Structure formats: structure tokens, C-alpha cells
Structure 1
Amino acid sequence: MTIAGGIILIMLGAILTWAVEFDLAGLDINVVGVVLMLGGLVGLLFGIYRIAMARRAVGPIDEPVHRHEVYEDPATRRTTVYEERRRYDEPPL
């Protein structure tokens, strides 16, 4: 679950808990809202934990960084020129 999904579940649960005045037989909307808020909170914390672990995962630091510069001599560069010749003697179709 992502952070956005957790926030959406928390908002939906809060709406069901405090803003809805609807009664169903055998189902308490307030309890459903609280369960959604708790699930959203768990998902939010898990998403934050995953991001923290992904940022902490770094490759080995002891290896040197090798940088290669790309240099191309302008005199050795080859260019191709295409020439198009058209004849307008023929009538259009």
C-alpha cells in the first residue's frame, strides 16, 4: 500500500465515522470507519517504512568511482550530406 492509499483510507474512515448519519441493520458505520482509519494508518506507516529503507539502501562505499570522459575530435567526425533532386516537368496526377 502506498502513502496515498493510506491517506485515502484514513480520510474515508473519518468521513464514515464522523460525517455519515446512516444506519444499516447489523452494521455499524462508525466501526467500519474506525477500521478503515486503522488500516489506513498501518498502510501509511508501512509506506513510510518502505521509503526509508529504500533510501537507506546504498551500494558499497569502498569501491572507487571511475569516470570516463567522452571526447570526440571534431576533425574526425564524419557528416553525410543528402541531396534531393526533383523534377517538376511531369503534370500532377
Structure 2
Amino acid sequence: MSLGLGIVLFVIGAIFAFALNLTVEWINLQLVGYILMVAGAVVIIIGIILLARRRRSVTTSHTSVDPATGDRVVRNEHSTPEEPML
């Protein structure tokens, strides 16, 4: 989701900065385009960092002996950390 948002912001910023030839008295569209491009790049970088953090996982292996039967019991647990809400 964040990668898509970053790409959309960057593309809209590039359109404002390079493709539009409109003159508006109260706002500089070229500057707005550059700001949107920087914001899109920041969102893309944050998205890549969050994707790299999400791929971490925790694996726990526990071996014990069942007292009733004397059999060896192996329990494996696999979990991935929760994604932080932004």
C-alpha cells in the first residue's frame, strides 16, 4: 500500500513539475510538484523499510519427554511479528 502511494505521489508531482504549463497567481505549481515528488520518495523509502522489517520471523522449538508414555514430544511454533499501525 505504501509503495503504491509513494509512486502515485511521485507521478503526480512529476506531472505538476514538468508537464503543466499553467500559471496560477496564488500557488507555484512547479514547487508543489517538487514537494510531491520528495514526499513520494520518502513514502517509498519508508515502505521498503517496513517491508524489510515485516519479513522477520520468530521460530521456537521445544523438546520434552511425555511423563505418561516416555515418548519424546517436539513442539514447533512459528510466528511473525505484528505490523505496526501507522
Band the TM-score falls in, shorter-chain normalisation: 0.5 to 0.7
Which residue is equivalent to 1:45? 45
Higher relative contact order (CA 8 A, sep 6+): 1
- Superposition RMSD on alpha carbons, in Å? 1.8
Task: Give the gaps of 5 or more residues in structure 2.
Answer: 63-73, 77-86
Q: Which has the higher strand share?
A: 2
> Any runs of at least 4 consecutive aligned residues in structure 1 with deviations exceeding 6 A, and if so which?
none
1:63 aligns with 2:61: yes
Deviations 1:46-88 (A, max 9, x none): 0000000011x2113x515648xxxxxxxxxxxxxxxxxxxxx
- Percent identity among equivalent residues? 29
- In the alignment of these two chains, the number of paired residues is 65
Rounded to whole Å, the distance in 1 between the matches of 2:37 and 2:23 is: 19
Asked which structure has the greater CA Rg, the reply is: 1
Which residue is equivalent to 2:11? 11
User: TM-score, normalised to structure 1's length?
Assistant: 0.63
What secondary structure does 1:6 align onto?
helix
